[in-house]
Amino acid sequence: MSRHQDRVAIVTGSAAGIGRATVEKFLAEGARGVVAVDVNRDALAWAAGNDRIATLAGDLTDPAVNAEMVQLAVSRFGGLDAVALNAGIVVQGTIQRGSLEDYDRTMDINVRAVALGIRAALPELEKRPGGAIVVTGSVSGLFGDSGLWAYNASKAAVVNLVRSVALDIGHLGIRINAVCPGPVNTAMTANVAGKPMEGAMKARIPLQRFAEPSEIANVIAFLASTEASFVTGAELPVDGGVTCGTGQWATTGGRRSGHL
């Protein structure tokens, strides 16, 4: 019996990257169906033709889109067991130069849309045992990064949102946790690929590399499954060890590859 056998899941931000890998993981683990949601309609095309995937194109900052994804899980697959709230954006710029419009948009997508997703999903999750929500936070929600103030603020907010929601819903038998990835090979890190910054970042990661999306999806699928039945309100770094250091020096492996 696979961990998600006959279960129904929603995955947001599933056009590519971690979200797509998470849809594929739920299906590989036996899910009856997955609702794949993303604002990028064209990029959802990868899921076309699979009758175990229902796609929904829409902006998750809209409460109606959140309601629709839950309705789709019920109408296509008969209910809802697990929700991976993974959609997110990153914008760069120092506190002096970054725009407030970027800040507002980042908070809207990375925090408010997650709250909307949780509120939309809870009534259906309550109807079946073993309901679980997993939010994609970030190591950038646990500590700061230079030039990422809006992202840092949003991911810290969503990690603490997860803790407080865990307190509100535990008695319903529904769990909620956050995965906190370090750098992952997706569109979000494409701007550093092949540049000196990539080597400098890897030098600070004990495992000396970025994650593949499937390595984050594996942990999301675990936290969303009943194997994690006593885990709630947790933030789990999936970061190759980057948050175990103070950040003052490169790791031993990093120094051996020439970084200070």
Coil, strand, or helix at residue 223? helix
Q: How far apart are the first and last CA of the chain?
A: 48
Q: Is 18 in the site for ligand NAD (CB under 6 A)?
A: yes
For residues 153-182, which are near ligand NAD according to CB under 6 A?
181
* Piece of the chain touching ligand NAD by CB under 6 A; list 10-18, 74-82, 165-173, 248-256: 10-18
Integer Cα distance of 237 and 178 in angstroms: 9
Task: Give the residue among 36, 150, 136 at the shortest CA–CA distance from 93.
Answer: 150
Pattern 75-114, ligand NAD, x by CB under 6 A: -----------xxxxx------------------x---x-
Q: Is 187 in the site for ligand NAD (CB under 6 A)?
A: yes
- Pick one of 39, 116, 169, 176: the residue that binds ligand NAD (CB under 6 A): 39
Residue 151 annotated among the catalytic residues of the structure? yes
Alpha-carbon distances of 195 from 190, 191, 198, 199, 249, rounded to whole Å: 10, 8, 6, 7, 20
Integer Cα distance of 47 and 216 in angstroms: 19
* Piece of the chain touching ligand NAD by CB under 6 A; list 33-41, 121-129, 169-177, 249-257: 33-41
Q: Is 61 in the site for ligand NAD (CB under 6 A)?
A: yes
- Pick one of 15, 120, 122, 176: the residue that binds ligand NAD (CB under 6 A): 15
Q: Where does residue 254 fall: left (phi above 0), alpha (psi -120 to 50 degrees), or beta otherwise?
A: alpha
Cβ neighbour number for residue 248 with a 10 Å cutoff: 6
Shortest Å distance, C-beta 249 to ligand NAD: 22
Q: Which residues bind ligand NAD (CB under 6 A)?
A: 13, 15-19, 38-40, 59-61, 86-90, 109, 113, 136, 138, 181, 183-184, 186-189
